[in-house]
Amino acid sequence: MARTLEKNQWETYLDNVAKHLGAELVEIEVAGINLGDQIETEWVPLIGISYDPKDDVVSVAVEGAEHLIRKPAEIVVEDNVDGLHWIDIKDGDGNQHIVRLKTPLALPAG
């Protein structure tokens, strides 16, 4: 089930995701009124993901690239008993940055 994270949860949640990464493959899709739908990366290893509250930026590091989302406005995640399926980050301009995992990432409860 999809759920919206409170802003004060972003840093801890994304740090927890990064801590449990193995060899997860991700696709990053960017969608917006002025952009249309674009696949930024297609099934590449996810190296890390974090939120820096000081600079107000989410960083998604994949093999060979870093995808930055400045001034994020909302983070929605799809996580359930199977694990984390995707993270949808809406930026300040209303664009969506969807980090989709090829297989769910198991996260500890809590």
Structure tokens at 46: 């996810």
Write out the chain's pLDDT in tens, 110 residues: 899 999 999 999 999 999 999 889 999 999 987 777 889 899 999 999 999 999 999 999 999 999 999 999 999 999 998 999 999 999 999 999 999 999 999 988 75
Task: Examine residue 98 and state whether it is found in any structural domain, yes or no.
Answer: yes
Domain count, the chain: 1
Question: What is the pLDDT, as a whole number, of residue 110?
Answer: 56
Task: Examine residue 68 and state whether it is found in any structural domain, yes or no.
Answer: yes
- The structure tokens 């696709």 sit at 27
Task: Examine residue 110 and state whether it is found in any structural domain, yes or no.
Answer: no
User: What is the C-alpha to C-alpha distance for residues 56 and 52, in angstroms, rounded to an integer?
Assistant: 6
Question: What is the pLDDT, as a whole number, of residue 34?
Answer: 79
Cα 33 to its chain centre, rounded Å, is: 20
- The structure tokens 């300040």 sit at 92
Determine contact, residues 89/104, Cβ cutoff 8 Å.
no
CATH assignment of the domain containing 78: 2.70.180
The CB-side HSE value for 10 (13 A sphere, CA atoms) comes to 22
Continuous segment of H or E residues that includes residue 105: strand 96-105
Give the structural domain span for 40: 2-105
Task: Examine residue 86 and state whether it is found in any structural domain, yes or no.
Answer: yes
- 65-70, strands of its sheet edge to edge: 2-5, 72-80, 83-91, 96-105, 25-32, 36-52, 57-62, 65-70
Task: Examine residue 52 and state whether it is found in any structural domain, yes or no.
Answer: yes
